[in-house]
Structure 1
Amino acid sequence: MKLPALLLIALPLPLLAQDPAPPRPSIEIPRIEAEVTVDGVFDEPAWQQATVVRDFHQYRPVDGRPAEDSTVVMVWYSPTAIHFGIRAYDRDPAGVRATLADRDNIGSDDQVTIYLDTFNDRRRAYFFGVNPLGVQDDGVRAEGGFVASFQSGTVDRNPDFIYETSGRRTPDGWVVEMRVPFKSLRYGSGDMQTWGFNVARTTQRTQYEDTWTDVRRAGASFLAQAGLITGIHDIKRGVVTELQPTVTAGLPGVRTGAQFERGDPALDVGGNVRLGFTNLTLDGTINPDFSQVESDAGLVTVNERFALFFPERRPFFLEGIELFASPNNLVYTRTIGNPLVGAKLTGKFGKWSVAHLSAIDEFGGDAANALVNISRVRRDIGANSVAGLTVTDRERDGGFNRVLSGDTRIVFAELYYLQAQLGASWTRDDASGETRSDPIWQLEVDRTGRLFGFNYKLIGIGEDFATQSGFVNRTGIVTASAFNRLAFYGGRGNLVESVTLFGGGSRIWNYDDVFAARALEGGTELNTSVRLRGGWNLSTRTENGFVRFNAADYSGYTVVAAGQPEPFIPPSGVFDAWSGRLTVGTPQFRQWDGSITIGGGATAIFPEAARGTRRQAQAAITVRPSPSLRAFGTVTWTRLSRTSDGTEFARTVIPRLKVEFQPKRSLFFRVVGEYRSERRDALRSADGRVLLVGGNPTPTTLTNRLRMDWLASYQPTPGTVAFFGYGSTLDTDEELSLRGLERRDDGFFVKLAYLFRR
């Protein structure tokens, strides 16, 4: 197993001295022995004693400027909760955007978000958001991810914390009141508490985002630029115990030949349990059911060589997922396909963060189940840097896959970070098999400046590296990329508010002869992004790429010559493949917003080892005809044609529509429909001869399929919920048509859950 010496040098870098943290604005909030009604009126005496925060700064699209609209935040705390009162003034009160949306779905509304970094570590913060009607949006923001332009972070909206909100529109804007119980938070030990604190306000009419502290986009961290709350002491929390029994009933149906048969009803009983201590949380689940989770949006897969990434959507795995994050997706919980039981431990002890997940992945029948264990330990270094260790283990029927990886992210001079990773895997297919092993490594340096930035990265993955608990879809390669960014900003009131140029290139080599041979594939690209006054966005992408075909991938291909099969010899590759893309996005108008993307250019048709032309278009629209009704529509169209004769190789059309109706905050209805129409021609060589794979021709394929999912939910409080849903898949032989649709399968389900909490 090869281990690059460069990474052995880079990993000890956390031992180096770190830059001291810059001074942070601070407020001291009063402790008041009072209970108030959360109604958005602020008529209790406690509000007259609250600490007041004002003088916000613009953060997006242009930072470093005073906010155009005034925001005032009042803060105080009682022994059991922290209270916030927000007055959001607006120069155009009639333009305030607000809908009675489902929880965590207020992205199209005006909103205010409170960030509480309760461990004051600048790396992870609770956020509590609210729109003008009091609809909530909460979760956890964690720093340390990578977006090669400005500071980044992961946002986990899966946690549903218990807190109270009330909002209303006023003649000069809107106001909201918020009460966050200390039982909903974890925080460090000690009688006196100092927390990181910030407030962000988004105004959809202008697409401006303001923050209390003067957060600059030129910086490796958003949370590191927060202010401080002091004066918190003698607060009451105790141990939070949550028990949520669940009952799920299902009624499946499937077509067998000409008959559609309804299966027997199935009843499943499960449950979730949580013990929350001051700085530690233990979660458990038995027989979890995720029927209510929205299905993945369809992707175009007809010309893909490697597996596509689909984000995790299941609540048990989503909550706290940022604590497992490591470079190169070594933890990907969707590999646990059918969990029978699971347990998760997450906590923070001083500078140490710990996370552990255990689960049994059920395969059914006589097949052996898999035992999965995933652990991540991370230590804070200096003001903003971290070092971590990830260990994963998946065992099944005598075989195993184990991964061990160390990584570090060093932030220095406020604008720069250096990230390094070194790991390896050990895999055995069964009890009598041999163990295979190979390394994975990464070295990355980034500058996140306001006007100029860059990201340079080198990743190596050995041929025998495997992670059955993560997502690494290509091995045996070394990838190098280098990108630079330039940004320009217009003056206040200018038509053009900002212009960003982001360009560079990447190359991929074979792992065993890296840099000694020609690259397998790569490209050079230039991306532009223009932000116009009012929220209009324009972006373009121009790329010149190449790829070399691997003859071994086509070893089973033959063509017929003079009546006899002979080996198919693929061309060397596709070169000078120019392509481009243009996207136009509208502002957030009161009742709608949308975007459209068109693109095309030269590409490789991998199933035929040929040069082709790709044309694509995508349109998206969101419509909000009333505060309680929303519709989201997308249409994706892609066509691949052969350069040799202009004939079509493949065409995909995917329209998708989601409609949500929420007559009140506790009652929610959703319907999702997606139609997939896909056709692909039989494989043939560039000279028109039929390509045989394994001695057989590949037939023309045609798919026209509709998927419909209906859901109704009633959730009076977080965790206590009733779901009723129906999903069906229908096929037809008529292209892009609803005529002749025939059910292939369907299913009804009812799910009841009740949360006991103390």
Structure 2
Amino acid sequence: MKKLSWLSAIFLLQVSVSLFAKQNFELKYINQPIVVDGVLDEAHWQNATFVDLAWEVEPVEGIPASLETHVWMYQDGDNLYVAFKASDPEPGKIRASIRDRDDLWFDDNVIVMLDTFNDERTGYQFYVNALGAQADARMTDYGSWEEDSSWDAIWDAKTQITDTGYTVEMVIPFTAIRFPLVDGKQTWGLSLYRNYPRGVLNQFSNIKFDYDIKCSFCQFDKITGFEHAKPSQNLQLTPTLTASRSDVRENDSWQNGDADIEPGLDIRYGISSDAVLNATINPDFSQVEADASQLDVNSTFALFYEEKRPFFLDGADTFETELFNFVHTRNIADPDVGAKLTGKSGNHTYGVLYANDQQSALILPGTQGSNLAVVDEKAHAGIASYQLDYGSRDNLGMLVTSRQSSNYHNNLASVDGATYLSEQDQVRYQFAYSDTKNTEQLVTDFDLAKNQQGHTAYVEYQRNTKAYDLKASYRQVDADFRSDLGFVTRAGYEKALVGGGYHWYMPQGESVTDYWLKGDYDINYERHGDKLASELEIYAGLEAIYNIYTEVGYIAGETKYGNRYYDEQYGDWWFSGKPTGDVKISLYAREGKRIDYRNAELGDSLYLNPKITWDLNQYLQFKLAHTYSEMKLDDALSFRVNLTDVRVNLKFNMQSMLKLVVQYEVGKYGDSPLEITNQINKERDFATQLIYSYKLNPQTLFYLGYSDNGFSDDDEQRLKANERTFFTKFSYAWQL
């Protein structure tokens, strides 16, 4: 491209890469916007700050990148502008499709990572694939790298595929992110990536990472400037309107329900550049898309479903703790109003959340299982958190949660933190206390005490190097400990664990890139009582060409159920790969001796979970997941369940999409002496959902959809829909 020739000249003038030290870049201020079209034809790009992605990160870290990827950056006080030029010797093999948001992880893509507080602990990610699909995420590095792709921001990007690769232009408004309010210049952490998936996944970066250092943020380059960046004191109003009608079938005749029309309003106000107030009035908390299907068979513990509701997602990482999940906002089921303040000032991170709730959904944890309960009373839910960052990477946090109604309460207080002993060694810890008053309904239905108090503690040591890792942990949870706003499914036990592993890396160009061996041993006891379980796990795995990841394991142990002990022994296998650029496959398989909880016997268990994702073309995607679970006792069938989840996505363009979801489950059951009444030998369930969506951005969108579901068992052989819903939703993000 002739118009890019000046970029090569700037490259020759500006490249100055230290082989081992962090690079420090000066971000240019240029008071000119761009036309966001993916074409780098604005003359002022040649005056922007240049960054070269000179290093390979995967599969071999620390060697020169095999392809050129050049980046230019500048800001104008309102936005951060980023341009990529990604060279590719075979542009026809670029892997990308027109995708929904946050669904591009296996494509050719580029990534901007910003540590806006320069605290080497938290940051933002912005992804763009070669066709312009976007993804974004919050990331944290408090001892292990974690990403939360449920966070969504309003920003823009466009791309162009050329005869030498592809180019990207991104515009990230400063109102979309949080950063300190300071006079003069700021310094942020900067990491730029390019994912290049072919026979193996190659990753290129501006950073020569050292995998013997446990943290990643502390290795980021630095970029200084932003003196004209305006604080995000913006007001965003997002009115919503939802309408639905739910019908039921009675005696083969549909009984139409009443139309339910609900206006609502979400408010987001940037009090400062590092503090945000969220409020919601009569919110739409509906789950627009069906949750991924899960089997609830031969399990004694509650299933986990991710939060998807926008009000709870903004700043959600503020309420996360080190080792326990004490905040799971899907437990706030049906609120009328909500308010939340989250922010970070220097080394201090804080958050406060309030919501009312028309009814309280609870998880009642036990030693060998958990129960789900509903308190049919209006309740008030409150959460407050604070975290202090100190030292180079250490932190100390406090959390308080409270759920209150006229005849019930659950209050929890927690202290947690992490301390680095060296670059490779870390100790994490968490201690908590809860106080609960149960309703008469809970006392009667679940045989609970009127008042419950309990403690919990968790201490964990880790040593992580490139070649090997070691870990040891101890956890105890009192029988009366409850976290009714969290996701704690087990109580009344203590557990000790030791483990480790070793990792081997192959030279560049080998079919197998790396392989490993790891294992651990844990032992569980009832609090001040008998042994609950002991278990040994050994795993071996490898990564190879065609993006293959596979791991095989052997698990053996003794487990208590009821008043008996059972010797479980089984193997499992995990495999995933991309045999072509358009198809991704995975399989989880498990077989061996496991407890059959229906019969309280040791049975022969088989579990299979294959998945396939197929991009038929740039616009049409097909996803199929199937789960097969079978248990036999001396060749007699205890249960056999098949669950199929099919999803078809048709993208008309980057904003417009039609999605079909079909879920179908068939279960066959043998007689069980433990199920005295209402035994079912066969049952079938199905659910379908058809949704059209138009999204200008994550907050400005339109949905139109239909869903239904049906059930049949021994008494009803015909499978037919018995419930159906028509729904629509409109929301518009109005920024003032």
Structure-1-length-normalised TM-score: 0.88
Q: 1:174 aligns with which of 149, 155, 166?
A: 166
Q: 1:588 to 1:229 in 2, by over 3 A?
A: farther
Equivalence for 2:456: 440
CA distance in 1, matches of 2:359, 2:256: 23
Equivalence for 1:532: 544
Describe the SS at the equivalent of 1:607.
coil
More off after superposition, 534-543 vs 743-752:
534-543
Aligned ranges for residues 370-519 of structure 1 at < 5 Å?
370-430=379-439, 434-513=450-529, 517=530, 519=531
CA distance in 2, matches of 1:131, 1:465: 46
Tell me if 1:261 matches 2:273. no
Q: 1:292 to 1:305 in 2, by over 3 A?
A: closer
1:23, CA displacement in angstroms? 6.0
Tell me if 1:194 matches 2:187. yes
1:173, CA displacement in angstroms? 1.2
1:46, CA displacement in angstroms? 1.5
Equivalence for 2:363: none
More off after superposition, 234-243 vs 389-398:
234-243
Deviations 1:569-610 (A, max 9, x none): xxx3212x2211223322262221112233300011123221
Describe the SS at the equivalent of 1:471.
coil
Aligned ranges for residues 272-421 of structure 1 at < 5 Å?
272-276=266-270, 277-291=272-286, 293-326=288-321, 327-363=323-359, 367-421=376-430
Contact 1:593–1:622 at 8 Å: present in 2 too?
A: yes
Contact 2:91–2:165 at 8 Å: present in 1 too?
A: yes
Q: 1:584 to 1:717 in 2, by over 3 A?
A: closer
Describe the SS at the equivalent of 1:468.
coil
1:30, CA displacement in angstroms? 1.4
1:413, CA displacement in angstroms? 1.7
CA distance in 2, matches of 1:239, 1:588: 48
CA distance in 1, matches of 2:421, 2:658: 48
Contact 1:274–1:283 at 8 Å: present in 2 too?
A: yes
Equivalence for 2:3: none
CA distance in 2, matches of 1:347, 1:471: 24
More off after superposition, 39-48 vs 399-408:
39-48
1:659, CA displacement in angstroms? 0.9
Q: 2:72 aligns with which of 71, 74, 77?
A: 74
Aligned residues: CA RMSD: 2.2
Tell me if 1:574 matches 2:586. no
Which 4+ runs in 1 deviate beyond 6 A? none
Q: 1:662 to 1:543 in 2, by over 3 A?
A: same
Contact 1:379–1:387 at 8 Å: present in 2 too?
A: yes
Contact 1:613–1:641 at 8 Å: present in 2 too?
A: yes
CA distance in 1, matches of 2:132, 2:231: 25
1:374, CA displacement in angstroms? 0.9
Deviations 1:229-272 (A, max 9, x none): 11331222451100011111111011234433111111111110
1:71, CA displacement in angstroms? 1.1
The letter of the residue matching 1:401 is N
Contact 2:115–2:190 at 8 Å: present in 1 too?
A: yes
Describe the SS at the equivalent of 2:46.
helix
Unaligned stretches of 5+ in structure 1? 1-21, 146-150, 552-571, 685-690
Equivalence for 2:227: 233
Q: 1:113 aligns with which of 111, 114, 119?
A: 111
Q: 1:28 aligns with which of 15, 26, 29?
A: 26
Equivalence for 2:710: 730
CA distance in 1, matches of 2:208, 2:654: 34
Contact 2:60–2:507 at 8 Å: present in 1 too?
A: no
CA distance in 2, matches of 1:617, 1:527: 18
The letter of the residue matching 2:687 is R
Equivalence for 2:652: 663
Equivalence for 1:751: 729
More off after superposition, 52-61 vs 191-200:
52-61
CA distance in 2, matches of 1:339, 1:47: 49
The letter of the residue matching 2:690 is W
Q: 1:652 aligns with which of 624, 634, 641?
A: 641
CA distance in 1, matches of 2:450, 2:590: 47
CA distance in 2, matches of 1:747, 1:292: 13
CA distance in 1, matches of 2:116, 2:285: 31
Tell me if 1:720 matches 2:709. no
Q: 1:633 to 1:417 in 2, by over 3 A?
A: same
CA distance in 1, matches of 2:334, 2:48: 50
Contact 1:156–1:319 at 8 Å: present in 2 too?
A: no
Aligned ranges for residues 89-128 of structure 1 at < 5 Å?
89-128=87-126
Unaligned stretches of 5+ in structure 2? 1-19, 361-373, 444-448
CA distance in 2, matches of 1:635, 1:55: 40
Deviations 1:38-84 (A, max 9, x none): 22222222111112111432223332222222211111121221111
Tell me if 1:209 matches 2:198. no
Describe the SS at the equivalent of 2:171.
strand
Q: 1:671 to 1:350 in 2, by over 3 A?
A: same
The letter of the residue matching 1:306 is F
CA distance in 2, matches of 1:51, 1:486: 41
Aligned ranges for residues 604-753 of structure 1 at < 5 Å?
604-642=595-633, 645-684=634-673, 691=674, 696-697=676-677, 699-732=679-712, 740-753=718-731
CA distance in 2, matches of 1:51, 1:177: 14
Contact 2:682–2:714 at 8 Å: present in 1 too?
A: no
Percent of residue pairs identical: 27
Contact 1:156–1:320 at 8 Å: present in 2 too?
A: no
Q: 1:434 to 1:135 in 2, by over 3 A?
A: same
More off after superposition, 236-245 vs 110-119:
236-245
1:434, CA displacement in angstroms? 4.8
More off after superposition, 671-680 vs 228-237:
228-237
Contact 1:292–1:725 at 8 Å: present in 2 too?
A: no
Equivalence for 1:585: 576
CA distance in 2, matches of 1:414, 1:119: 21
Structure-2-length-normalised TM-score: 0.90
Q: 1:91 to 1:734 in 2, by over 3 A?
A: farther
CA distance in 2, matches of 1:538, 1:366: 44
CA distance in 1, matches of 2:591, 2:99: 37
With a CA cutoff of 8 Å and minimum separation of 6, indicate the structure with the bigger relative contact order. 1
The letter of the residue matching 2:702 is A
CA distance in 2, matches of 1:130, 1:507: 45
Equivalence for 2:557: 545
Contact 2:680–2:713 at 8 Å: present in 1 too?
A: no
CA distance in 2, matches of 1:110, 1:290: 34
Describe the SS at the equivalent of 1:244.
strand
Deviations 1:404-452 (A, max 9, x none): 0101111232222100111110011149985321101000001121110
CA distance in 1, matches of 2:397, 2:455: 17
Q: 1:178 to 1:416 in 2, by over 3 A?
A: same
Count of matched residue positions in the alignment of Structure 1 and Structure 2: 693
Describe the SS at the equivalent of 2:98.
coil
Contact 1:444–1:455 at 8 Å: present in 2 too?
A: yes
Deviations 1:180-201 (A, max 9, x none): 1222221112121111111111
Q: 1:248 to 1:698 in 2, by over 3 A?
A: closer
Contact 1:682–1:697 at 8 Å: present in 2 too?
A: no
1:399, CA displacement in angstroms? 1.5
Contact 2:77–2:226 at 8 Å: present in 1 too?
A: no
Equivalence for 1:164: 156
